[in-house]
Amino acid sequence: MFGGERYGKRVPNERERRVIELVAQGLKNSEVAEAIGTTEHVVKNYLRVIYDKLGLWNRVELALWYEARRHESLVQV
């Protein structure tokens, strides 16, 4: 969907997209957990799955990935 050989081809689900959005805003895992009504441990698990799906290594790459694609969803609406 987003192209590029480096990134995974799987698409994050709705809950994962929310986690990505909050992490890209600079929230800590504990703050993300509070925002989505879960525990910090669950957020860490979400991040592991998200990194694997997208072929990323860390929060910085995730935030950059999000910023590069953030406007694509606005164009499609």
Return per-residue pLDDT of the chain as tens, 77 residues: 344 445 556 889 999 999 999 999 999 999 999 999 999 999 999 999 999 999 999 999 999 999 999 877 654 43
With helix as H, strand as E and coil as C, how does the chain read? CCCCCCCCCCCCCHHHHHHHHHHHCCCCHHHHHHHHCCCHHHHHHHHHHHHHHHCCCCHHHHHHHHHHHHHHHHHHC
Using alpha carbons, select from 13, 34, 4, 19 the residue that is nearest to residue 66.
Answer: 19
Q: Which fold has domain 14-69?
A: Arc Repressor Mutant, subunit A (1.10.10)
Indicate the pTM of the whole model. Answer: 0.81
Domain map of the chain by residue range?
14-69
